[in-house]
Amino acid sequence: MNEEAARKIVLVRAIENADAGHQVLTDDDRLYASRSAHELAQWEASDRQTTLTPALFLQKRAEQILRKLTERMPAFAAVAEPGRALRAVGLGLPLLAFLAGAVVDRITDPHRVDLLSAPLLLIIAWNLAVYALLVVWLVVPRSRPGGTGGGFFRRLASPPRIKPRKLPQALASALARFSLEWTALRAPLTEASVGRVIHLSAALFAAGAITSLYVRGLLSQYQAGWESTFLDAAQVHAALSALFAPAMLVFQLPGFSIDEVRALQGASMPSQARGALWVHLYAATLLLLVILPRLTLALASRWQEQRLRRDFPLDLNEPYFQRLVATLGPVTPAVLRVLPYSFTVDERRDAGLTAVARELLGEQARVMLRPGTPYGESYGGEGQTPSRAGPAADTSVTQTALLFNLSATPERENHGAFIDQVLRQGAGDVAVFVDESAYRERVGGEGTGAARVRERIALWRQFCELHKVPVRVVNLLHPQSQPNTAPISPASTRAP
């Protein structure tokens, strides 16, 4: 279940729980939504060639209810759709971070590369401190789950609010409850989204600073130098050597001596080459210590975010969901068991049986075709093997169809005995299927042939009425061409 489906399901749950008096959703609304959702879920599951799941049923039911409420109350449409404030922040904040990074080092002299540049050193120190906090965060358990991201980001992820006077009191109360429930349920996803935005913004902030250094270097000549009240040249050299060591190692940048650092104290060098060295050192260090780690963390957060969006953790074992799923009935494909009598089912008619089963029992229905019973034998008679000694109780079978050929004239001692024997053996829901395909091809479908087909169908209906079993006339070669495919109960069957 994805995030969008989970949100709709939770919203409908809040509405139905708050609407105890059924003022917002009537009993008919809820019943219609359940029935429609069952059919829609079956169709979708069939198209995907998967089984009908409770999650899919609940999703379709929620969509039906929300569509109905939106039609009745246009003001509700603002709540039915998820808020986009967090998405807007996710796009705008990294861009603002890049622009801020581009101007941050302009606080100092724009024509000078300060070896102890406070803005650049703060960027590096802050990110190293964040990495240390992330390690502690992984080791130390959280004392308050769902707190990550701060109230600002949680409010952005919350549903949009509308004025209660525009909605019924029960619905306004439901929306307030939904806002709290959804914020708590979405906390892990919000945490991943916020993490992605923050890490990407930090990376772009450093990228903006690097871009500013190189762009200004193209338009002006940098002068290098440093000043400090408490540090001498040896200390500055040691600190900078440790700071720039990864960059010098990875990118093979030239180093610097204590004398070079001492020469730059309190003075400026017009040499563009030495100014460029410090630009390269700071840029490479920001790339290694800030941009690459932050992008890696952003990608990890993005992966977690996408995983939670695709598979949102919603517990469907709660009583509310269990009550709805209980009305769904079996979620496994329905099974039509076919017991042919004096009938050989070829490949084309087997496909026709599948089409009839799907029409009767849904698009996921399948056919269980059993071996045929020879003419003159009852099902479970003396001449049959133990494996064919009658339809054993099978809870996976939805309906049992006794398949006859319309070409045969129904006989009490043969066809009737077969029907009675199956009924006595407790096969559950039993119906007679009479296939007209062979008989109609033999006598024709027009004029006298059509009349003979009607007479034979009437005879079979009267015969099945005597044996108190419903009958269905089918055409297994052309299952869609048979107009009268509905089963006829014995009580309603009448001879012409």
State the CB neighbour count (10 A cutoff) for residue 112.
Answer: 16
Give pLDDT, residue 108. 57
The predicted model scores a pTM of: 0.61
State the CB neighbour count (10 A cutoff) for residue 84.
Answer: 11
Give pLDDT, residue 271. 46
- Strand 366-369 to 335-340 pairing: parallel
Largest CA distance in the chain: 120
The Cα 175–Cα 159 span in angstroms is 9
Residues ≥6 apart with Cβ < 8 Å to 294: 127, 199, 200, 202, 203, 206
Give pLDDT, residue 386. 36
Domain spans of the chain, in order of start: 1-330, 335-492
The Cα 217–Cα 246 span in angstroms is 23
The Cα 79–Cα 71 span in angstroms is 13
The DSSP-derived string for 393-413 is: --TT--EEEEEEETTSPP-II
The arrangement of secondary structure in 335-492, i.e. its CATH architecture, is: 3-Layer(aba) Sandwich (3.40)
Give pLDDT, residue 147. 45
Q: Per the structure block, which two tokens stand in for 425? A: 């053996």
Q: Using CA of residue 114, residue 118, residue 123, residue 126, what is the dihedral sign?
A: positive
Give pLDDT, residue 30. 86
The Cα 56–Cα 37 span in angstroms is 9
The Cα 280–Cα 151 span in angstroms is 40
Q: What angle do CA 189, 3, 175 make, to 5 degrees?
A: 95
The Cα 167–Cα 159 span in angstroms is 15
376 in helix, strand or coil?
coil
Q: Per the structure block, which two tokens stand in for 297? A: 């963390």
The Cα 172–Cα 19 span in angstroms is 10
Give pLDDT, residue 427. 67
Residues ≥6 apart with Cβ < 8 Å to 142: none
Of 198, 171, 420, 364, the C-alpha closest to 290 is: 198
Give pLDDT, residue 496. 32
The Cα 442–Cα 435 span in angstroms is 13
Q: Are 237 and 259 in contact (CB under 8 A)?
A: no
Per-run averaged pLDDT (10 residues), the chain, 496 residues: 91 89 84 84 82 88 90 77 71 91 69 81 93 88 49 52 64 86 89 92 94 83 80 91 93 88 70 72 94 96 93 85 73 79 91 86 79 78 42 68 93 91 81 92 84 92 92 88 45 34
Give pLDDT, residue 262. 87
Measure the N-to-C terminal CA separation of the chain; round to a whole number of Å: 54
224 in helix, strand or coil?
strand
Residue 481 backbone class (left: φ over 0; alpha: ψ -120 to 50; beta: rest): alpha
